[in-house]
Amino acid sequence: MEDKLSIRVNVADRFYPLKIDRLDEEKIRKAAKMINERLTQYQQRYADKDTQDLLAMAALQFVIRMLDGENKFENSPILEELEELNKEIDVYLSKVE
């Protein structure tokens, strides 16, 4: 049994029909809300730009934030600790064999 839900999401005053997993609804609606809020901020700041330019600026900003988050994770102490543990396990397994 598929637990799919049909929704309509508003982004930049356009509605997009989506068929999604029910568990993803809140995340998708939140994402659309964040895009629309950023778009509104840009519309107020750059009144001479069209919607396409503003959406591109918002997309660029969100992707930069995503990449920054990935970099923080990649450089996290947890990752370093896991790599060290992995080395210790390899050493132990090589001795057991």
- The answer to whether the beta carbons of residues 22 and 45 sit under 8 Å apart is no
Q: Where are the beta strands (DSSP E) in 1-97?
A: 4-11, 14-21
CB atoms within 10 A of CB 87: 10
Q: pLDDT tier at 74 (50, 70, 90 boundaries)?
A: low
Q: What is the pTM of this model?
A: 0.69
Under DSSP, is residue 76 helix (H, G, I), strand (E, B) or coil?
Answer: coil
Residue owning tokens 């660029």: 60
Q: pLDDT tier at 42 (50, 70, 90 boundaries)?
A: very high
CA distances to 33, 94, 96 from 29, rounded to whole Å, are 6, 50, 52
Q: Where are the domains of the chain?
A: 4-69
